[in-house]
Amino acid sequence: MPSAAIQPQRLDTLIVVGAPSPFSPADLDTEVFRSLVTASRRVASVCTGVFLLAALGVLDRRKVTTHWRYVDRLRQDYPSVRVDGEQVFVQDGDIWTSAGITAGIDLAIALIEVDHGIDLARAVAREMVVYHRRAGGQSQFSTLGDLAPASDRIRNVLAYVRENVMRPIRVDDMARVACISSRQFARVFKRETGESPARAIERIRVEIARDRIESGSESLEKIAGLSGFVDPERMRRAFIRIIGRPPCAIRQAGRN
């Protein structure tokens, strides 16, 4: 059937899935694909699926995300698209985009929540045995995942740090959780994580603070206390060391 003869009925949500590598415009039957987009109440993409939408020009001046591996390519190929390479998923009006495969699950549960309420979204999350749900503003990157220690004892230490982040955390406390001497601990921790204990604590605090900044309206002073920084200035210096941007810039970016 000629593509011009296809007249899709009104669609609710069109979800464009990704592929192991980004699609190119040559992969598209542009006329058919554009008719599907036009016929849809909203459009979403998972991972590299965003490249198909960008090729149609429907993302010009829109804020989107994609898998971190392809952020630079998306920016280069489509400079008129506003690419946020850090968030799990992004909504810009009737366009929703997600970072990767698991981020697509977060996006789908968010769509259910928008359409049918939080109770159904939670029920779906429970049925799928997934967390309800990572907020769209959360970063694609996880400190605990990046550190990826090899042993349970160091994983237990990192969990201890996260659970006690508001308290002063000493190396002696961490060594006690790991069940090794304080003298051994720093060497073992560095070997397994690639970071010093102090640096790892700072990274975890920055991640916790950033999640609160991006997903809520608490004051920076309150967030600094809840994430163990004591005061906003110490938090600001840590953000610049770890992320390269101060907390106020993170908050402003989330509002744009």
Measured CA to CA, the distance from residue 239 to residue 105 in angstroms comes to 29
φ, ψ for residue 243, nearest 5 deg: -105, -30
In angstroms, how far is the first alpha carbon of the chain from the final one? 44
Cα 149 to Cα 93, 158, 219: the distances in Å are 40, 9, 33
What is the chain's alpha carbon radius of gyration, rounded to the nearest angstrom? 22
Residue 179 annotated to the active site? no
Query: Catalytic residue among 44, 47, 81, 105, which?
Result: 47
Q: Which two tokens stand for residue 45?
A: 């993409």
| Residues linked to residue 65 through DSSP beta bridges, in sequence order | none
Taking alpha carbons only, the member of 92, 73, 93, 71 closest to residue 83 is 71
Q: Are strands 95-98 and 82-83 parallel, antiparallel or unpaired?
A: unpaired
Locate the DSSP E strands across 69-132.
82-83, 89-92, 95-98
Question: Which residues are the active-site residues?
Answer: 47
